[in-house]
A = this chain, B = another copy of it.
Amino acid sequence: MNTATLLCSCTDRSGIVAALTHFVAEYGGNVIDLDQHTDSETNQFFMRLVWDLRNSALSRDDLPGAMGIVAKKFHNMHWSISFSTPLPRVAVLVSKTQHCLADLLLRHQMGEMPGEMALVVGNHGDLADLARHFGVPFAHIPATRDNKEQAELEQRALLRERGIDLVVLARYMQVLGPEFVNEWTGRIINIHHSFLPAFVGAKPYHQAKARGVKLIGATAHYVTAELDQGPIITQGVTTVSHRDEVEDLIRKGRDIERQVLAQAVRLHLERRVIVAGNRTLVFQ
C-alpha cells in the first residue's frame, strides 16, 4: 500500500487531531493508523498518523507544502512526512563481531525490515564475506584511534554518496566524533550491551558477574554527543545465575543484543519513534 506517515509534536490544545485528520480526509486520504499521546507534565502533544495515498488529490511533492500551512496554526509544531516508498536506506557500521550484523541481514532477507540494506562499513575487513553472502556492498575503511578523524570523513562521504537514511552501529567498537554525531542526529542507532543505566562503560558482563546480578540486558538507543546517554528506544533482559560464567553472560547477552537492536531498527524504519528531549515515544 502506498502510504504517508506524519510524525509531529506541538503544544497541546483542543482540536489538533481534528485539524490534522481533516487535512488528510480533505485531500482524499484514508487514515489507516493513528496514535497520539499528550505528555501531562510538559503539555506537549505527539502524534503518528499514517494514511493511504491511493485516492489522494495531492501529489507527494505538494503534500509537505500543504502540511506546512496546517502546521502554522499550532504552537511550536515540529513535523515530518515520509512515504512508504522508496524504502529508507540503511548502512551498518561494524568491527569484527558478527552476530548483530548477521541477524540484521538475515531478517532483512526474510522481509522483516522495511528498509534497504544498502551498505556495510567495517573498520576491519572480517565481515566482508558475510555481507557478500547476503548481497550487500561492503566498504572497508580502517579506523583506529590515530586516524579516526580522517576515517570518519571518508565514512561520512560514503554515507552521503550512497544516500543513506539510517546508520546502525552493530557492535561498532569506535566512539563516533561529534561532527559525525551532529550530522546524523536522531539517525544513528547503537546497541549497548547492557541494561542502561546500569554498567555504563566497558566490559559490562564482567561488571555484571562481579556484582552477582540475576538479570542482564541490552539497550538500543540513539547516539548523542554524550556517550551511552542518548534516548532509549528498546531494552531487553534475560535471566542469569551463579552458574553462568562470563562467557555464558556474553552468549546470553548476544541473544538479547541482536533482538533488541533488530527491534529498534524496525521501529525506526516503520517511523514509530519520536525523540523528545532525551526520551523517545515509541508508537507500537
Contacts and interface: CB of A to CB of B under 8 A. Distances in A.
Contacts of A39: 242
Interface string A243-284: 101000001001100010000000000000000001111101
A17 B13 contact: no
A69 interface: no
Interface string A11-33: 01111111001101110111111
Contacts of A190: none
Contact of A31 (B17, B215, B234): B17
A115 interface: no
Interface string A159-192: 0000000000000000000000000000000000
Given A212-B280, A215-B217, A251-B112, A14 B37 contact: no
A243 B32 CA distance: 12
B198 A213 contact: no
Interface residues of A, number: 69
Contact of A242 (B25, B34, B251, B282): B282
Nearest to A199: B197
B18 A14 contact: no
A234 B130 CA distance: 30
Nearest to A237: B237
A232 B215 CA distance: 10
Contacts of A280: 212, 242
For the complex, would chain A's binding face be called helix, strand, loop or mixed by DSSP majority?
mixed
A110 B98 contact: yes
A75 interface: no
Contacts of A34: 17, 34-36
Contacts of A33: 36-38
30 contacts: A12-B30, A14-B31, A14-B55, A15-B30, A16-B31, A17-B34, A18-B31, A22-B22, A31-B36, A33-B36, A33-B37, A34-B34, A37-B242, A39-B242, A98-B110, A99-B110, A110-B251, A112-B251, A195-B198, A196-B198, A196-B211, A211-B232, A211-B279, A212-B232, A215-B217, A215-B235, A215-B237, A237-B237, A242-B279, A255-B259
Interface of A: 12-18, 21-22, 24-26, 28-40, 55, 98-99, 102-103, 106, 109-110, 112, 129-130, 133, 195-199, 211-215, 217, 231-237, 241-243, 245, 251, 254-255, 259, 278-282, 284
Given A197-B213, A215-B236, A242-B282, 14 more contacts: A14-B25, A16-B31, A17-B17, A18-B31, A33-B38, A40-B245, A99-B110, A197-B198, A197-B211, A211-B278, A212-B232, A212-B279, A213-B235, A242-B281
